[in-house]
Structure 1
């Protein structure tokens, strides 16, 4: 059921401009899938769905040559500023950009990073120590541009 639902999500995102999770939920319901917002959020995380200027999209929609936008494109598109407080980084993003940025960071599995917590426009990045946080801050600032 999960694979079928995620396949339907992929198809809808590729063929239709979806601007809200509720809109996607209703389209899935018409196809026989009853889902909650929490289920959609988990599916979005697993599929690495991000919200761009034209609505929700899959990573492969960005560049036909590279089916994975990775952290570079995600930070370039959504990242605004990085601040450090000891072993913590606060990454400010565009509105609704925190979730895709946190997902991309989690996917990178960088050794300096222990984990992320995302709000709407802010990502808290927890690092093992302040030295790792400083290195990660520099890397992120370079990717933001």
Structure 2
């Protein structure tokens, strides 16, 4: 992954790692970050975990692990505030979604695109590489070269179930 060595990039990567799999210690997280090119001290990592809203929670296996405070799961992976927000916003502001290859153009009422794009970004949707929002349009870039149609269809389906 090409990422700048900034606090924001590091914290975004921490959130993505915490969503991907259980991480039981700061040492384990520091190793994962180091493997991706981020060098971090224990003190900085501790502050980053607070900033991203990470908590130590007991998993289904009874072990303690870091998890985000319900704010970034992907659309099909369970309940979270971020997922609920995405569903609510799709139902309220999604006007349409059309795909071409790995691109999706999403239409919203004026002023709503940035809110919906932020909700898409926060769920950590694996199929989505990123979003760019204007006033009433969002451009979504998918990881799969032909993944746009599926993401567009999922957004429309979400809006129908919530609308």
Distance in 1 (CA, whole Å) between partners of 2:88 and 2:137 is 17
Per the normalisation by structure 1, the TM-score is 0.51
Aligned to 2:139: 124
Q: Secondary structure of the residue that 1:91 maps to in structure 2?
A: strand
State the alpha-carbon separation in 1 of the partners of residues 88 and 108 from structure 2. Answer: 13
Aligned pairs for 1:28-43 (under 5 A) are none
Cα distance change, pair 111–95 in 1 and its aligned pair in 2 (3 A): same
Counterpart of 2:8 in structure 1 is none
In 1, Cα distance between the equivalents of 2:128 and 2:81?
Answer: 25
Q: 2:120 aligns with which of 102, 105, 109?
A: 105
What 5-or-longer segments of structure 2 have no aligned partner? 1-51, 53-79
Whichever structure has more helix as a proportion of its residues is 1
Q: Tell me if 1:137 matches 2:152.
A: yes
Contact 2:86 2:119 in 1 (8 A): yes
Residue 29 of structure 1 is matched in structure 2 by: none
What residue is the counterpart of 1:34 in the other structure? none
* Structure 1 unpaired stretches of 5+: 1-45, 47-65
Alignment of 1:1-145 (within 5 A): 69-145=84-160
Query: 1:129 offset after TM fit, Å?
Result: 2.2
Which residue is 1:10 aligned to? Answer: none
Q: CA deviation at 1:67?
A: 6.1
2:100–2:149 CA contact under 8 A, matched in 1: no
Where has structure 1 moved over 2 Å in runs of 4 or more?
66-69, 129-132
Structure 1 or 2, whichever has the larger Rg, is 2
